[in-house]
Amino acid sequence: MFAYKRADRVGDLLQREISELLLRRVKDPRLHSVTITQVKVSRDLRHAWVYYNILSGGPTKNSVEVGLAKAHGFIKRELGKRLRLRYLPKIEFLWDDSLEYAEHIEDLLKKIKHEKNDR
C-alpha cells in the first residue's frame, strides 16, 4: 500500500501557498501568469524544488526567471509566516518542460499517423 509521505504533504502545501502568493501578494506583473505545476521536497524537508510554467500569451521565460529571483526573498518570508514548519525548505525554482515535451510527443505521434495513412 502506498503511504502518503510527509514530504508529499509539505510539497502540496508549498504548491498551494506559493501559487496563492504569486497570484495575490506578489506585485510583479511578470509573475501573475506563472503556474506552479509541482513541488518536490526532499525526504529531510530541507530542499524544495518548485516547478513552474507560464500560461500562453504571458511573459517570456527569461523575464519570469528574473521576476522569481527578485521575489524569492519575499516568498520565503511569507511562507515562514504562514507555515508551521520547524525548518522552511531551501526553495529552488525550476522551469517545467513537461508541457513542451508532451507537445513534442504529440507532434511525433501525428507525424507517424500521417505517414501511416499516406502508405
49: which strand partners? 40, 92
63 within domain boundaries: yes
Output the domain CATH number for residue 51.
Answer: 3.30.300.20
C-beta contacts of 3-7 below 8 A and 24+ residues apart: 5/43, 6/45, 7/41, 7/42, 7/43, 7/45
1 within domain boundaries: no
64 within domain boundaries: yes
Range of the structural domain that residue 24 is part of: 6-118
Task: Divide the 119 residues of the chain into consecutive groups of 10 and give the mean pLDDT of each group.
Answer: 76 96 93 93 94 85 94 95 91 89 85 81
Residue 27 pLDDT: 93
Helix or strand (DSSP H, E) at 113: helix 98-118
66 within domain boundaries: yes
- Answer yes or no: are the C-beta atoms of 72 and 89 closer than 8 Å: no
> What's the domain count of the chain?
1
pTM above 0.75, yes or no: yes
